[in-house]
A and B are shown apart, each in its own frame.
Chain A
Amino acid sequence: MKVLMTEYLRIDLESENWECRVCDHTIGSARGNYKEGMLVYNRDPADIHPSIIDPEKYRFTFCPDKDWVHIYEFYCPSCGTQVEVEYTFPGHVPLHDMEVDLDTLKKQWSQRDELTEPTTGPNVLVDRGHRHH
Chain B
Amino acid sequence: MNKPIDLKNVAEDQDLIKKFLKETTLFLGPDPEIIRDHRIMPRTDYEEKCVQEHSDLNQIASIRDRLQAACEEGFEMVEQMGAAPGAKWGDIITGIYSASGDLTIGSAGGVLIFSALVHHPIKFIIKNWIDEKTVGVNEGDGFIHNDSRYGNVHNTDQSMILPVFHEGKLVCWVASTVHEGENGAIEPGGMPSMAETPFDEGLKMSPFKVVENYEIKRDLLTFLQNSVREPKLQYEDMKVKLFACMRLEKRIKEVLAMEGPDALTACLRYTNDSVVEEVRRRIAEWPDMTVRTHVIMDSTLRENVLIKVNLAVTKTGNRLIFDFSGSSPEITNRAINTQLPGLKGMVAQSFMNHVWPDLPRGQAGFSPIEVITPNASIVDCSYAAPNSQSLMAIFTAFTVAQHATAKFLYSVPEKHTRVLAPWFNMIGTFIWGGVNQHGETLGNLCADLNGMGGGARMDRDGEHALAPIFATMADIGEQEMNEEEVPFLQLVSKKMTTNTQAPGKFRGGMGYSMIVATKDSDQWGFMTTTVGSKAPPIQGLFGGYACGSYPLSKVTDVDVYDVMMTEPERFKHSIPEIMNEQPFENANYSTHHMGMGFDLAKRGELYMISQGSGGGYGDPLERDPYMVIQDIEESLITPDWAKKLYHVVFNEETLKVDEEATEAERKKVREKRKAQGLPYADFVKKYVKDQPPENIPFYGSWNGDNDMVYAGSNDDKRDAKDPGPIYMINPKDVKIAELEEELTTVRNVAGLSAKDTRT
Contact = CB atoms under 8 A, between A and B. Distances in A.
Interface of A: 3-8, 35-42, 45, 47-50, 52-54, 57-65, 67-73, 75, 77, 79-101, 104-105, 108, 112, 115, 118-122
24 contacts: A5-B287, A35-B680, A39-B679, A41-B677, A50-B548, A60-B549, A60-B592, A60-B593, A62-B551, A64-B535, A64-B536, A68-B296, A68-B696, A75-B677, A77-B674, A87-B535, A91-B687, A91-B688, A91-B692, A93-B704, A95-B704, A98-B289, A120-B459, A122-B416
A60 B591 CA distance: 6
A82 B546 CA distance: 14
A6 B407 contact: yes
A68 B298 contact: yes
B688 A62 contact: no
A100 to B, nearest CB: 4
A63 B549 contact: yes
A37 to B, nearest CB: 7
Given A94-B684, A97-B293, A120 B287 contact: no
A89 B579 contact: no
Contacts of A6: 407, 410, 542
Contacts of A80: 669-674
B407 A64 contact: no
B499 interface: yes
A53 B553 contact: yes
Contacts of B590: 58
B411 A93 contact: no
Interface residues of B, number: 98
Contacts of B535: 64-65, 68-69, 87
Given A7-B617, A104-B288, A105-B288, A89 B296 contact: yes
Given A7-B542, A58-B591, A82 B673 contact: yes
A39 B671 CA distance: 12
A7 B458 contact: yes
A24 B500 CA distance: 34
Interface in B631-679: 641, 644-645, 669-674, 676-679
Given A67-B696, A77-B674, A87-B535, A118 B410 contact: yes
B27 interface: no
Contacts of A101: 287-289, 316
Contact of A121 (B290, B418, B592, B676): B418
Given A53-B579, A97-B291, A104-B288, A65 B544 contact: no
Given A65-B534, A80-B670, A97-B291, A52 B591 contact: no
Given A69-B296, A89-B693, A120 B418 contact: yes
B683 interface: yes
Contact of A52 (B500, B589, B684, B687): B500
Contacts of A36: 680-681
B214 to A, nearest CB: 41
A67 B694 CA distance: 11
B524 interface: no
Interface string B519-555: 0000000000000011110111111111111111100
- Select the residue from A79, A81, A97 with max chain B CB neighbours within 10 A: A97
Given A52-B500, A77-B677, A84-B542, A8 B294 contact: no
